């Protein structure tokens, strides 16, 4: 695994003038090329670490795989000097979409859907009935999630430059946390972790993200069967539309004791 942080010199300034030079810790951002049977599929900018989970989660979000058995093997390619290329072998019978290898695309750390031909192309077949999930949460349980997510962010404490995604159970207990320079990567790592452990669909679970709730994060949560997506910042209009259409609960501006429930308010028990 590559380094997840590096030290670089920085000139510290204030309005009063130069305050000195000191080393600063930065989050590493490096490309990861994903290949399927030796053929390039995509390049994503990510923080090294949990790459196998990242790739599994990405393939699950694309609707290519749905369980750990769909993956025969993943390995770093020997023809590269760095561990920045992963080749995936899929199980017999796992078919790739017809246009998959012809629309190879690059994703940045800011956007998980760059290169898609249209928004409609993202409305992949839904493998799970998220709308039927009977999870019920109290506002107090939701309000505690950002603090628990923040407490578990070890790399963020050193860099201040990583997004986090955490998977919680209905009681608000943290099951797994992943950090990355990309919001979508952090979510893919969480979903890939769950897929590799045979936990999909993630019924009765809450996905908490440290930034905003975008369309691609909502789509990834939906593909994993997660009924509740919560974010400390705002959702996009398209994220709200997708969550409502899928029967998900979408919570934004989850800060302190307040929050906005944009869809699926029936899962929030305000009577307790």
For 75-97, give the DSSP string.
EE-TTSSSS-EEEEEEPTT-PPP
Residue 34 is inside which H or E element, if any? strand 30-36
Q: Which of 43, 96, 100, 111 is the catalytic position?
A: 111
Burial environment of residue 235 by CB neighbours within 10 A (0 to 12, 13 to 18, 19 or more): buried
What residues contact 165, with CB distance under 8 A and at least 6 apart?
Answer: 177, 178, 183, 186, 187, 189, 190, 207, 208, 209, 210
Say how many C-beta atoms besides its own lie within 10 A of residue 255's C-beta: 12
What tokens appear for 57 in the block?
A: 């989660």
Distance from C-alpha of 120 to C-alpha of 2, rounded to nearest angstrom: 36
Is 77 considered catalytic here?
A: no
Say how many C-beta atoms besides its own lie within 10 A of residue 3's C-beta: 11
Residue positions annotated with a catalytic role? 111
């Amino acid at each position: 695994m590559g380094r997840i942080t590096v030290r670089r010199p920085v000139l510290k300034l204030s309005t009063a003038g130069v305050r000195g030079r000191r080393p600063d810790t930065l989050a590493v951002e490096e490309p990861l090329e994903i290949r399927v049977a030796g053929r390039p599929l995509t390049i994503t900018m990510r923080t090294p670490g949990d790459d196998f989970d990242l790739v599994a989660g990405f393939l699950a979000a694309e609707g290519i795989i749905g369980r750990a058995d769909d993956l025969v093997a993943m390995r770093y390619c020997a023809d590269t000097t760095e561990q920045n290329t992963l080749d995936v072998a899929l199980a017999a019978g796992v078919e790739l979409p017809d246009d998959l290898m012809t629309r190879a695309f690059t994703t940045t750390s800011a956007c998980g859907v760059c290169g898609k031909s249209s928004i409609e192309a993202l409305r992949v077949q839904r493998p799970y009935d998220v709308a039927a999930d009977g999870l019920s949460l109290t506002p107090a349980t939701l309000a505690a999630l950002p603090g628990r997510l923040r407490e578990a962010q070890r790399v963020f404490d050193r860099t201040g430059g990583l997004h986090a995604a955490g998977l919680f159970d209905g009681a608000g207990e943290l099951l797994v946390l992943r950090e990355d320079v990309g919001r979508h990567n952090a979510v893919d790592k969480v979903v890939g972790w769950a897929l590799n452990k045979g936990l999909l669909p993630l019924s009765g679970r809450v996905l908490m993200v440290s930034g905003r709730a975008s369309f691609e994060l909502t789509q990834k949560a939906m593909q994993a069967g997660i009924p509740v997506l919560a974010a400390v910042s705002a959702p996009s209009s398209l994220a709200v539309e997708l969550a409502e259409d899928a029967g998900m609960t979408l919570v934004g501006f989850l800060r302190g004791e307040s929050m906005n429930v944009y869809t699926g308010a029936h899962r929030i028990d305000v009577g307790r």
